[in-house]
Structure 1
Amino acid sequence: MTSRVNRRTALGLGTAATAGAVLVGAPASAAGRPGRSASAAASPELVAPRIAAAFQREKSLTGGNWQVHLSLENGVTPLVAVSESADRRVEAYSVNKIAVAVAVLDRIDRGLLTLDQRVEVAASTVVPGGDGIFVLDTAYPSSVTVGHVLANLLTVSDDTASRLCGLVCPAAEINRTLAAKGFPDTQVQPLSDPHRFYLGTSTARETHALLRALVAGTLLSPSSTALVLKLLRSPVAFTDGIRRTMSSAERARVATKAGWFVDARHEAGVVFDTTGAAVLTYVLFADGQADRDNFGATHPVVQARARLGRFFLDATAQLRGTADAPRHRIARQRPSNGG
């Protein structure tokens, strides 16, 4: 912890700090109760400073470096609540799997690939010790569909799925596609094998713009847009951070993607209102904090994001997306008992 916010300091920050202070030390079941005071504000102009104060408190608790861009929908132009080091190009790690998926789906939108096309999975393709499902399977070679690859890429952040995406969309094409769509800093890092890449870089501002373009429907076809948002909002998508202290219905309103490697703990996504319209877009890139070997929910940055996620949801509870904004249907979770 690099700095401390005592009671006098918190009170000195006024109403915004008071709203942010409910984030500290609250159990999941209680975290939503103080949030009702935050949701009393019914306009982006009132919500923005409260979110900014909440973020500053969490930043002071974790220390390290933060690259952040966070906005509220407010008509034609979003209202920026927080923007810090937003143009610093950093390793985006698995957050860039959204960008990889965009490039693959762009090929599908252009008729060069299909979701049901099969991809061969060789034992040599599987990332040893990597995150995801493929590494757990001991029966290779095998084959899966492109749709299966994308589902694993964006939900459980499967590392082997990244390599499989490279088989159907080489690194150079991924970068050309992203640059052509207006994202020159969101690029994978090609390796000597044209089908292999590291996940590469982005900036908080550019990832924010990519997410807003996705939700607006200007990045991909309607069917491809719906697929990405369905995967990022699914019950098996990342739940340690922003979505941790939310109900299943609340989690379905948040599309999120995390990325973790070395000392970085990133997360980026969109909060939707109950009609499926976006109300808040966040990019939280963080690195340089303590506990770098802990990739679980107890990492200080991941805990900070969990508190912020609860606050984001409560603070925007009375906000509604703009009248002409696209609505993305929120799927109801239907657990099964087999059969």
Structure 2
Amino acid sequence: MKPHHLLLTLLLSYPLFAQSPLQTQLKQIAQTANGRVGIAATVIETGKSVALHGNERFPMQSVYKLPISMAVLQQVDKGRLKLDQRVKVKTSDFVTPGQHSPIRDKYPNGTELSLSELLRYNVSESDGTACDVLLRLIGGPKVVMQYLHSLGVKHMIVANTEKEIGSDNAVQYQNWSTPTDAVLLLKALQEGRTLAESSRGLLFRWITETPTGVRRIKALLPKGTVVAHKTGSSGTVNGVTAATNNIGLVTLPNGHHIAIAVFVSDAKADESVRDKVIARAAQAVYDAWSPAILK
């Protein structure tokens, strides 16, 4: 055997390259989805991290409403927009009937809402109409991309409106993120590097109080655990579901924070199994890193 081949063999056999027990557990959990699963998680205060397919691309679906809302709030912080300004929502703004929109359902003839209300609808109720109105207000996806790049988040793409995504099943794949960069976004939010404290506080309240995703990241964590999160879900076409996602910040008992992103893509498993993949992944990470295990 040539010397450099021998060195490579020794390096690959060294324990440093072995999978951690947590990564092995996540891999086993992911297999039940019968699809592609990407996971990334880190303890923000210590840097402890784990990933499974962390640098692969996954369609975000409504997860992308979080960076969109953050970009809008940055405009508020800069004085270009005001939370109490009134914004018209026209019937032409409504997303397609098959897409989720409490605004469309509540105000079938259109309405006028404050910017603050639109933001809440966008991230807390995952309203597609609110999302598109906000995108129009700030100048479209290109403004969101400029904002993401300013944070060093370069592998998260916001390219389309909700209405465009709803018009063609293939379009959702153009709006993607790697799990690793989703965690980078969450880290920037938690560390307060991106928004004024007032805007950050509002956003945290909305994504903590959201009624969505009760069977995902939050489902198997100890009662009372604070989880600030955003879900994303696609429809199912020919037995395959393009996106069942959840990203969020989980507060540990010692006050540290786990930033976690779980993307389940192109899966043939049913909804309950897909949700459980996310819930079990979050539980595994929490159990591995919670200081409670040291008692």
- Match among 91, 115, 131 for residue 123 of structure 1: 91
Percent identity, aligned pairs only?
21
Q: Which has the higher contact order (CA 8 A, sep 6+)?
A: 2
Give 1:74 deviation, angstroms: 5.2
Structure 2 residue aligned with 1:31: none
Q: TM-score, normalised by structure 1?
A: 0.69
| Alignment deviations for residues 23-57 of structure 1 (CA, whole Å, 9 cap, x no partner) | xxxxxxxxxxxxxxxxxxxxxxxxx9453243122
Q: Which among 204, 223, 227 is matched to residue 198 of structure 2?
A: 223
Question: 1:231·1:237 contact (CA, 8 Å) conserved in 2?
Answer: no
> Paired residue for 2:207, among 232, 239, 242?
232
CA RMSD of aligned residues (A): 2.8
Q: Retained in 2: the 8 A contact 1:186–1:201?
A: yes
Deviation string 1:230-282 (CA, Å, 9 cap, x unpaired) is 111115242121112456622xx11111111242211111111246541x111
Q: Distance in 2 between matches of 1:108 and 1:236?
A: 25
Q: 3-state SS of the aligned residue for 1:257?
A: strand
- Which residue of structure 2 aligns with residue 155 of structure 1? 124
Change (3 A) 1:74 1:247: closer
Q: Point out where structure 1 has 5 or more consecutive residues left out of the alignment.
A: 1-47, 321-339
Secondary structure, aligned partner of 1:188: coil
TM-score by length of 2: 0.78
Q: Which residue of 2 aligns with 1:286?
A: 264
For 2:83 and 2:268, locate their aligned partners in 1 and report how far apart those are by CA, in whole Å. 41
CA contact (8 A) 2:43 2:256 kept: no
1:327 aligned partner: none
* 2:276 alignment partner, one of 287, 299, 303: 303
1 CA distance for matches of 2:109 and 2:124? 22
Structure 1 residue 181 displacement after superposition: 2.4
- Aligned equivalents of 2:113, 2:223: Cα separation in 1: 29
Please list every run of 5 or more consecutive structure 2 residues that lacks an aligned counterpart in the other structure. 1-18, 164-170, 236-240
Counterpart residue identity of residue 218, structure 1 = R
1:203 maps to which residue? 178
Q: Check 1:227–1:144 CA distance in 2 against 1; reply closer, same or farther (3 A cut).
A: same
SS at match of 1:51: helix
**How many residue pairs are counted as aligned between the two chains?**
260
Q: Which has the higher helix share?
A: 2
Do the aligned residues in 2 keep the contact of 1:155 with 1:238 (CA within 8 Å)? no
Asked if structure 2 preserves the Cα contact closer than 8 Å seen for 1:185 and 1:202, the reply is yes
CA 1:89–1:306 in structure 2 vs 1: closer, same or farther (change >3 Å)? closer
Deviation string 1:90-121 (CA, Å, 9 cap, x unpaired) is: 32211111110111011001110011111101
